[in-house]
Amino acid sequence: MTETKPGFIETVKSYPATFWVANTMEIFERMAWYGWFTVMALYVTGSVETGGLGFTTETRGMLQAVVPCILYLLPVVTGALADRYGFKRTFVVAYVMMIAAYYLLGQFHTLPGFFMAFLFVALAAATFKPVVVGTVAKVTNESNSATGFGIFYMMVNIGGFVGPIVAGVVRGWGWENVFYACSAWAVVNLLIVLTLYKEPKVEGLAKDKRTLKKVGDDLVEVLGNGRFFITTGTVIIALMVASALSSMRVSWFSWKWCGIILVGWVVLNILYDLVMPAGSGRPQKAGQPRRFFLAKRMHCSNWRFCVFLLIMSGFWTSFNQIFYTMPEYIRDFTDTRPMLRAAQSLESTTVWKWVFGEADLSNPNEGIASKMATINESERGVIVRSIGNLNEVLASDGAPSRALLKTLSQARVDEFIDLAGGPVRQAYDQELPETADGDTVTASAKSRRIDRLSDADVAAIFAVAKPTADADPDHPWVREALDQTAHHLIGTKVRVTPDRLEEIVLENSDDTQTATNRIMIECRQVNPEFIVNIDALAIIIFQVLISFLMAKFHRFTTMIVGMVIAAVGIGLSFFAGDNGMLGTGGSVVIVALGLFTFAIGEMMASPTSQEYVGRIAPRDKIALYMGYYFVAVALGNLFGGILSGQLYGKLARDMQRPDLMWLAFGGIMLFTAIVFLLYNMFALPKDQADSLTPAT
């Protein structure tokens, strides 16, 4: 007799209260994490004068590679300890750490301090992750787990949707408010776990508490022996070190040398294994003397599971570009004014005015633009100073001045100072505290260096620079000043063509404040985090439905098709249009369509893979196995962060070809889908199509 599959409503009613408490905590934790992480690229690469850190995109990529990788590796340990000491106690520890960590993250402005604070955030999140996923897995069963993990993934994206919105609004009041908000969400979770959460009961767990030694043994139960961990761990650490040193422009351990050393390391370990006795790496039988771990061959305990994790790392490498690369790309290359104008058209309707009241659209601090395209006081100050400098340059028709020097490109300033040479170069190059981390000189740092020069130094610079000026009436210094000012304003969420900028400044040459307001009203851009949120919004609306529908299909079919759809979505930005940082910018419509398409693929692939791992784990080792699933996510963060920083720096920023960057990321996802298909066809026996455990 065929068993009747429960309906959707019946399935939802089958979950206990602990399931819903865990999902609620997941919402607030994701509000904290994504509230921070979605705007991280903007904060880290934003100029010091707008409240950012002023680091390069390569440094940003390194931070997003190394720290999240560590975050997702730690659940291998924290998940095992949670099984040992209890889920509720682990939740409390995680939330206390989060409260402190997010606050401290906003207190450090140099690379070493910021790195350590970010690492503290990662430790707190790593303590939380396997416990909340383990709770969901423990309180679901074979009949409702697919929909249960779909609900869980929807909750992830509710938090991932609301968090960035809150962060986008509060950063309009100042960047420090982002960190206050993230700490506040952790406080809410601490109250929830203390008052509502009940430890899930699993048969045999109470009487079979694992000793710490048993916890340690479990860490190598799935992946392999000590030699395996040493070999693979060295590779991961080398990639982290190369990423960090590359971002700081340390040449003695370049990517080239990193590749040579890693190839040599792997070959050395293979040769070492050839001289070891056959079978020396396998688990020893009871009663046999234990061998020293270096006297063993590398042994992979469950090669099918390891291959599964490695393949999934390709998915996460591309997935992470939504948060690593997309915010910076939208800020630098995408014209979002069509989206803002559409919202303003809605704002001008009678119904909107009746419900929300009428806003003064001539005031840049009122209306929907002030919410969707927040400009804080620091950013407004940059606009005022930039227009003031440009106004002085235009009024003097490019005559030599300190203001002109500030508006020229860094390359031009360096050229002029090299010509002046001697004491002028020494005075200009004197270290600023904000640039002591080894990053390139930012526009704000350049301005402060120029202010530090004496009037005699400025006169000396232009005394030797003036002969390089073209005699053309349209002075090249003026054109460069317009171009550079327009480029600089992108960091304040303003996109304006040089010609339009010149018109506005000349029309308001006697009133910098009016010119500032006109530029803010006419040229401001939607916060990138709001556009990235299209991914989370789509998942909130459609995730449960898609999970319910996909439960009828083979798990691998669902994951492979999902990856192909995600590849199309992330690759769509290849067609977004204008590649330049100035001008009209890329098409926000294509970017938005790509994000929505990617979300459809993500909804099919990601929760299905998590649900799969949750079902294969022994009931008293669910958190441990969920921790091992995060190994794939860790590798995806490592590879994704490295590629994001390097490809954005070389292709998007230096070559002005972000289209090639998005083509590469889409190609990685498509390649992952193809490899996964081959894995399903050849690596798994037919009678194990729904299992990753090896044949017996």
Q: CA 435 to CA 48: how far, in whole Å? A: 10
Residue 600 lies in a domain: yes
Report the C-alpha gap between 570 and 588 in whole angstroms. 14
User: CA 618 to CA 218: how far, in whole Å?
Assistant: 12
State whether 33 and 177 are in the same domain: yes
- Residue 89's contacts (CB-CB under 8 Å, 6 or more residues apart) are none
Q: What is the pLDDT of residue 306?
A: 82
* Alpha-carbon torsion, ordered 587, 589, 594, 599, to 10 deg: 150
Q: Which residues contact 152 (CB under 8 A, 6 or more apart)?
A: 22, 23, 26, 133, 136, 607
Instruction: Specify which residues 300 forms β-bridges with.
Output: 224
For residues 579 and 490, membership in a common domain is answered with: no
Co-location of 439 and 568 in the same domain: no
The answer to whether residues 512 and 552 belong to one domain is no
Let me know if residue 615 belongs to a domain.
Answer: yes
Question: Contact, 77 vs 123, CB < 8 A?
Answer: no
DSSP conformation letters of 245-262 = HHHTT-GGG-HHHHHHHH
End position of a domain, from candidates 523, 539, 556: 523
Predicted local confidence at residue 3, as pLDDT:
56
DSSP string, 32-58: HHHHHHHHHHHHHHS-GGGTS----HH
361 located within any domain: no
Residue 66 has a pLDDT of 94
Longest dimension (CA), the chain: 96
The answer to whether residues 302 and 694 touch, using CB atoms and an 8 Å cutoff, is: yes
Tokens of 34: 């994504």
Question: Are residue 432 and residue 544 in the same domain, yes or no?
Answer: no
Residue 203 pLDDT: 42
Whether residue 462 is found in the same domain as residue 572: no
pLDDT of residue 321: 96
Separation of alpha carbons 299 and 304, rounded Å: 13
Kindly state the tokens that stand for 419. 């010509």
The answer to whether the pTM exceeds 0.85 is yes
Q: Residue 317 in 3-state DSSP?
A: helix
Q: In whole angstroms, give the CA distance from residue 362 to residue 367.
A: 9
Residue 209 and residue 117 share a domain: yes
Q: Write down which residue in 501, 523, 545 finishes a domain.
A: 523
DSSP of 267-281: HHHHHHHHTSPTTTT
Nearest to 646 by CA among 247, 235, 318: 247
Neighbours of 468 (CB within 10 A): 12
- What is the rounded distance in angstroms from the CA atom of residue 381 to the CA atom of residue 385? 6
Task: State both tokens at 317.
Answer: 């490498």
Same domain, 497 and 538: no
Say if residue 312 is in the same domain as residue 211.
Answer: yes
Specify the 3-state DSSP secondary structure of 118.
helix
The answer on 183 and 79 residing in a single domain is yes
With 0-12 / 13-18 / 19 or more C-beta atoms within 10 angstroms meaning exposed / middle / buried, residue 5 is exposed
Count the Cβ atoms, other than its own, within 10 Å of residue 224.
19
Q: Which of 463, 498, 523 is the last residue of a domain?
A: 523
The DSSP bridge partners found for residue 365 are none
pLDDT of the residue at 282:
64
* pLDDT mean for each 10 residues of the chain (696 residues): 63 81 93 94 90 91 94 80 83 95 94 94 91 84 74 84 92 92 96 90 47 59 79 90 81 83 92 79 59 76 81 93 94 90 85 81 81 89 91 85 87 85 82 48 72 86 69 69 90 90 90 89 92 89 80 77 94 76 71 94 79 61 67 93 94 90 96 89 61 40
Distance between CA atoms of residues 487 and 653, nearest Å: 12
Determine the Cα–Cα distance for residues 300 and 319; give it in Å rounded to an integer.
Answer: 27
Task: Please indicate, yes or no, if residue 269 is contained in any of the structural domains.
Answer: no
Which residue bears the tokens 């349209």? 474
| Residue 64, in any domain of the structure | yes
CA distance 667 to 656: 20
In a domain, 389, yes or no: yes
Neighbours of 24 (CB within 10 A): 18
Amino acid at 10: E
Where are the alpha helices (H) located in 275-376, listed in sequence order? 303-319, 321-324, 326-333, 337-347, 350-356, 369-372
Tokens in use for 538?
């789509």
User: Quick check: is 343 in a domain?
Assistant: no
464 and 578 together in one domain: no
Q: Tell me the residue length of the chain.
A: 696
How many angstroms separate the CA atoms of 471 and 430, rounded? 34
The C-alpha R_g of the chain, in whole angstroms, comes to 28
Token readout for 572 is: 């769509």
For residue 680, give its domain range. 9-223+300-329+527-688
Q: Is residue 563 part of a domain?
A: yes
Say how far apart CA 372 and CA 341 lie, in whole Å: 11
In sign, the C-alpha dihedral spanning 173, 175, 180, 183 is positive
| Secondary structure class of 420 (helix, strand, coil) | helix
End-to-end CA distance of the chain: 30
Helices and strands per DSSP (H, E), number in the chain: 32, 2
Q: How many domains, the chain?
A: 2
Same-domain pairing of 446 and 580: no
CATH code, domain carrying 316: 1.20.1250.20
